[in-house]
Amino acid sequence: MRSYITRILGIVFLALVIASCANRGTPSGGEKDTEPPVILKSVPENFTTNFKGNEIRIYFDEYIKVKDVQRQLIISPPMDTQPDIIPLSSASKYIKITIKDTLQPNTTYAFNFGESIVDNNEENPYPYYRYVFSTGDYIDSLSVKGVVMDSKLKKPDTFVSVMLYEVDSTFTDSIIYKEKPKYITNTLDSVTTFSIDNLKAGKYLMVAVKDENSNYTFEPKSDKIGFHKDFIEVPSDSIYTLKLFEEELDFKAIKPKQIAKQRIAFGYEGDYNGMQIEMLNDSIPNNFKTKITKDSKTDTLYYWYKPKLELDSTLFVVKNKTYVDSLKHRFRDLDKDSLTVRALVSGTIDFGKDFSLQGSTPFVSLNEKQVTILDQDSVNVDFTTEFNEMENTYAFKFEKSQNNTYKIQMLPETFTDFFGKVNDTLNFNLKTKAYSDYSNVRVTLRNAKYPAVVQLTDDKGEVKYEQFATELKPIDFRYILPGTYFLRVVHDANGNQKWDTGNYLKKIQPERVSHFPDAIDARANWDPIIEFILE
């Protein structure tokens, strides 16, 4: 009996030892596959001439799938009806392309797959595979090359389409709005250079479009565009540079909408400067008055009026330069706006900022005698004011010193609005930091042509600080918030103190912008000095 138990215990012990040894490591399954799939053959063969069929098969040595085909696959020339591509979500050892469009005679077609073809397991991409065939006797072999940039930003968009339109007897400049190009390529998501291959000799219009709707046409509301100023001739050895920009839309007024009892919103597209709104109605009283202000966030102008009108509807005429349109409006009985005043700056105020207030209804007057500004020693601080009628804001300008506090009080009836309403008592508290909490950046331009707009932006290109320069002298950005900034210079050719975009139909290129190559590290109590040599 004892020997039996001893034998059983020995077996259990041996099993535990074996299990322990087995669990010391987990099999790795071998090295990770990093090799892309291999093409075994194509039917018909790649670079086939006199192509007649409607089906293409590309065979691989392992299971593959096609990813992100809508963005990655570029067919040149574009087809009116997109071909069917399989597999998409499933795996297969071949790609089948079924052509559903009528092919043009004597034309070379190229299917540029980008990096959409990947193996099924590790998704290793087959890089930039191109399948080419011709419906004629030969493969067109010419090409043009270039680079896509952004006219204002340091980095251009990804997936930018570069298009060629053939300049023949049917060509017009408006072709880019309604027809697909003769040839197309795409910068995809990794490079800014492009090459349009398998071209015929000829004259072409070259444009780049950030084609947001993937319809191979230019839509100014959503797309950026860049264009070469002259037609290009193929063959060509030139390297073309295309700079993307957003066009300023032509002005257009949008149907008015009642927002409050005596306030109507007019949306718009384009530049609102010069926009005039006139109500056409025989029932308008002689004491009828209006004000126009702009919404601070949206492309909307507010039309304020008094007294209240007992009308069901009316007609407005909107004008802006050469634009004239008539818009019908139906009145609604809504609550009336009340006057509220809000501060656009609160808490800590920077030395370069003004204290500004905005009204919910249009201001018509300010009684400065009702306003007091006291520093931390209860000493009165002198101030001046500046009114922006369109934005409906008052800026209070006063000299600020470091490590100080300011109490601002506005007694009742400081502000009177369009409807005769006044404010109650308003109190605001501000404070300043030490000068050493900020950075000062000095910029010196070399080879500059003046005037110029010098800007410090964030990494997304949003302007944080800017100055207008008219002559050669150091440009000082004083007391700026610590952070990382990027320097750019707008070559302000027309001297209007802003960057002007381009226009395709008018053949206007955007104003040139130069980017300093390095980021600027603006630390607290640190004064970087930057020399920017312009080309």
Domains assigned to the chain: 39-134 (2.60.40.1220), 143-244 (2.60.40), 252-330 (2.60.40), 341-433 (2.60.40.3780), 437-533 (2.60.40.10)
Cβ contacts of residue 198 below 8 Å, gap of 6+?
76, 108, 109, 110, 132, 139, 140, 141, 142, 143, 183
Residue 19: pLDDT band with limits 50, 70, 90? very low
Q: How many Cα atoms sit within 13 Å of 58 on the Cβ side?
A: 22
Helix (H, G, I), strand (E, B) or coil at 331: coil
pTM of the model: 0.84
Residue whose token pair is 């802003």:
498
What pLDDT is stored for residue 34 in this prediction? 77
Residues of the chain with pLDDT > 90, as a percent, come to: 87
Q: For residues 338 and 359, what is the distance between their CA atoms, to the nearest angstrom?
A: 10
Q: For residues 5 and 3, what is the distance between their CA atoms, to the nearest angstrom?
A: 5
Cβ contacts of residue 104 below 8 Å, gap of 6+?
77, 135
Going by their DSSP bridges, the two strands 193-199 and 142-150 should be labelled as: antiparallel
Q: For residues 455 and 468, what is the distance between their CA atoms, to the nearest angstrom?
A: 9
Q: Which residue type, as a one-letter code, is found at position 196?
A: I
User: What mean pLDDT do residues 335-351 have?
Assistant: 96
- Using alpha carbons, select from 448, 464, 449, 439 the residue that is nearest to residue 531: 448
| Mean pLDDT estimate for the chain | 92
Cβ contacts of residue 122 below 8 Å, gap of 6+?
32, 33, 34
Q: Which residue type, as a one-letter code, is found at position 378?
A: S
What pLDDT is stored for residue 15 in this prediction? 46
Q: Is pLDDT above 50 for 21?
A: no
Are residues 42 and 59 in contact, defined by beta-carbon separation less than 8 angstroms? Answer: yes
User: What mean pLDDT do residues 64-74 have?
Assistant: 89
pLDDT tens for 196-222 read 999 999 999 999 999 999 899 999 999
Q: Is pLDDT above 80 for 56?
A: yes
Query: 303, exposed or middle or buried, with CB in 10 Å at 0-12, 13-18, 19+?
Result: buried
The enclosing H or E element of 117 equals strand 117-119
If one counts every other C-beta atom within 10 angstroms of the C-beta of residue 187, the result is: 20
Residues of the chain with pLDDT > 70, as a percent, come to: 94
Are residues 278 and 327 in contact, defined by beta-carbon separation less than 8 angstroms? Answer: no
In Å, the largest CA–CA distance within the chain is 123
